């Protein structure tokens, strides 16, 4: 069993338990009727002056263990906004990544830029939760879903006015993303089944998108100015950066320095 398989097995159990809660039956309707207008996640990336960074709030990961002991999601989010992040990614998986849906709620209350719920989405219930918690976008991971599930969840998110970041790691996965009409595609340089990281993954897949109107996001393994410059040259419009910022004493200052020097 791979790490991804283990994560997905646990996630399905967590969602099943959540759907048994007394108020779970009302979540879908509440999401449909949510009065808060969503902010344009994709447009924020495309229209940002300078380098467009999706700055991530992440406490830990299965591959790297504890990343940041001094963890305050609200403080970090405010610092990211001050450093002119285009958007913020909030990890909401609790068991493997140390996050929570409450982190997303609390961040939404203090920032006015687009937020994405970063989790392993396997059920529309999680998308409804994301809408109610204040997300403007959700992540759908192609390697975690069957083709029909991917299409269904993509449609459901869009019905709630959420942008969808469709994550791929291979040519076959890119084909699946294109088949559902994805316009915002993230290339994860880390293979979630092996956790091997290779920036050449973005370069290889970006070559297939050069003459399209698809917005390409480079994800994982981005630690230096040279990494960003390399992936920007390959065709990436935005960059999801987490660990390298979260390991710094001041994540906001680290982001500011990254953007200033590019």
**pLDDT of 183-221, one tens digit each?**
999 999 999 888 889 999 999 999 999 889 999 999 999
Would residue 118 show up in a list of annotated catalytic residues for this protein? yes
Please list, in sequence order, all residues whose beta carbon lies within 8 angstroms of the beta carbon of residue 56, skipping any fewer than 6 positions away: 88, 89, 90, 91, 118, 240, 241, 242, 243, 245, 246
Q: Which of 233, 213, 217 is nearest to 225 (CA)?
A: 233
**pLDDT of 119-160, one tens digit each?**
999 999 999 999 999 999 999 999 999 999 999 999 999 999
Give kind and range of the element (H or E) at residue 128. helix 124-133
pLDDT at residue 56, rounded to an integer: 98
pLDDT at residue 256, rounded to an integer: 96
Residue 187, Ramachandran bin (φ over 0: left; ψ between -120 and 50: alpha; else beta): beta
Would residue 220 show up in a list of annotated catalytic residues for this protein? yes
Are 110 and 76 contacting, i.e. CB atoms less than 8 angstroms apart? no
Are 205 and 174 contacting, i.e. CB atoms less than 8 angstroms apart? yes
pTM over the 0.75 mark: yes
Looking at 14, 56, 84, 129, which residue is catalytic?
Answer: 56
CATH topology of domain 3-20+45-261: TIM Barrel (3.20.20)
Number of helices (H), then strands (E), belonging to the chain: the values are 12, 10
Residue 125 CA to residue 133 CA, distance in Å, equals 12
Looking at 143, 219, 243, 244, which residue is catalytic?
Answer: 219
Looking at 11, 220, 243, 244, which residue is catalytic?
Answer: 220
CA dist 95 → 21, 61, 78, 183, 239 (Å): 19, 10, 25, 31, 25
Looking at 14, 52, 118, 203, which residue is catalytic?
Answer: 118
Q: Reduced to 3 states, what is the DSSP secondary structure of residue 118? A: strand
Looking at 188, 189, 203, 243, which residue is catalytic?
Answer: 188
Looking at 48, 58, 84, 243, which residue is catalytic?
Answer: 58
**pLDDT of 69-124, one tens digit each?**
999 999 999 999 999 999 999 999 999 999 999 999 999 999 999 999 999 999 99
Would residue 58 show up in a list of annotated catalytic residues for this protein? yes
Would residue 20 show up in a list of annotated catalytic residues for this protein? no
DSSP secondary structure string for all residues of 206-232: HGGGTTSS-EEEEES---SHHHHHHHH
The whole-number average pLDDT for the span 166-193 is: 96
What angle separates helix 101-108 from helix 124-133, to the nearest 10 degrees?
A: 30
Would residue 167 show up in a list of annotated catalytic residues for this protein? yes
Would residue 143 show up in a list of annotated catalytic residues for this protein? no
């Amino acid at each position: 069993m791979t790490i991804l398989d283990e994560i997905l097995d646990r996630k399905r159990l967590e969602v099943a338990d959540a759907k048994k809660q007394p108020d779970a039956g009302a979540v879908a309707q509440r999401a449909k009727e949510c009065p808060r207008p969503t902010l344009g996640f994709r447009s924020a990336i495309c229209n940002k002056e300078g380098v467009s960074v999706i700055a991530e709030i992440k406490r830990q990961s299965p591959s790297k263990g504890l990343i940041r002991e001094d963890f305050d999601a609200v403080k970090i989010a405010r610092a990211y906004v001050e450093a002119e992040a285009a958007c913020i990614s909030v990890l909401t998986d609790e068991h493997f990544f140390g996050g929570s849906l409450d982190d997303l709620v609390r961040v939404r209350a203090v920032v006015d830029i687009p937020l994405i719920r970063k989790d392993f989405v396997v059920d529309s219930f999680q998308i409804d939760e994301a809408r109610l918690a204040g997300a403007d976008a959700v992540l759908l991971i192609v390697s975690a879903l069957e083709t029909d599930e991917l299409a269904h969840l993509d449609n459901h998110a869009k019905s709630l006015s959420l942008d969808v970041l469709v994550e791929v790691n291979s040519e076959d996965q890119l084909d699946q993303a294109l088949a559902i009409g994805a316009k915002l595609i993230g290339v994860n340089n880390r293979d979630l089944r092996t956790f091997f990281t290779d920036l050449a993954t973005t370069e290889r897949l970006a070559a297939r998108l050069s003459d399209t109107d698809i917005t390409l996001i480079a994800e994982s393994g981005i630690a230096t100015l040279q990494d960003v410059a390399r992936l920007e040259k390959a065709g990436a419009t935005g960059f999801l950066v987490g660990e390298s910022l979260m390991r710094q004493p001041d994540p906001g200052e680290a982001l500011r320095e990254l953007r200033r020097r590019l």
